[in-house]
Amino acid sequence: MDTIQLAATDRAPLVDFDFASGRLQLRGESYPEDAAAFFGPLLQALRGYLAEGGVDPIVCEVGLVYFNSSSAKALMNLFMLLEDAAAEGRPVTIRWHFAEGDETIEEAGEDFAADFAHGRFEMVREQPA
């Protein structure tokens, strides 16, 4: 499975899906004009990776400072794939990064966390540098 690496743009986040090591990363802002077109290939790749049925742990780091509702929907789909894998016994950890004081992102993380029963969903509070 190939690594997917996309540089951040002003409307799309940095993407670093290193399937070999089980580390997935999203950082930046996400409000692409067509979120389905942006996230579609990522979901497809993740689906293919999970279908291989490995047992290596997966860690997904998400550090978004803004995402629009279409991106939220796409994130939900992504997390559902991971939760399904966790339900089948795969160790899955989501690390949700948010800035101290950013209740919007913090609440969004809490909303996502509520849907996880098998995977770990960690809230990572980042202090200003």
Partner 1 sequence: MTADSTPSGAAPRRGGSLRGAGPRRSSDFQDAAGFGDAPRGDGGAATMRPGALRGAARGRDRDSLAHTLFLRIYPVIAVVVLVTQLGIAWINHGERIRLYGERADLMAALTAKAIARPDWSADPAIYRQPVEALTLDPAFRAASLRDATGAVVMSLGDMPRGRAFDLITSQADLIAAPGAAPLGRLTLTISAGDLRGNAETQALLALATSLILMLAFVVTLHANVRRHVLAPLKRLLAAMRAVERKDWVPVDLEGEFRASNEIDVISQAFNRMVEGLRTGDEAKQLLLQLEQAHARLEAANRLVLESIGYARRIQSSVLPERTALAGTGLEIAVLWEPLHQVGGDYFWLEDLDGLGLVLVADCTGHGVPGAFLTLIVATALDRILHERRLRDPAAILEALDTMVRSQLRQDGRGAESDDGLDCGLCIWDPARREIRFAGAGLALTAVTDGVATRIRGAKRGLGYPQRPGTRFAVEDVTLPVAPGSTFYLMTDGISDQMGAPGDGGPMRRLLGHRGVAAILEAHRDRPLAEQVAALEAALVAYRGGEARRDDMTLVAFRPRPEAPGRVV
Residue 33 is encoded by which pair of tokens?
């004009």
Residue 98 is encoded by which pair of tokens?
């948010």
Contact 91, 118 (CB under 8 A): no
Query: Is 12 near partner 1 (CB under 8 A)?
Result: no
Contact 116, 79 (CB under 8 A): yes
Q: Which stretch binds partner 1 (CB under 8 A): 18-26, 55-63, 84-92, 102-110?
A: 102-110
Taking Cα atoms as reference points, which of 62, 74, 63, 57 lies closest to residue 19?
Answer: 57
Question: CB-wise, 69 or 89, nearer to partner 1?
Answer: 69
Query: Is 128 near partner 1 (CB under 8 A)?
Result: yes
Query: Is 102 near partner 1 (CB under 8 A)?
Result: yes
- Name the site residues for partner 1 (rule: CB under 8 A): 29, 31, 36, 65-66, 68-70, 73, 99-105, 111, 126, 128-129
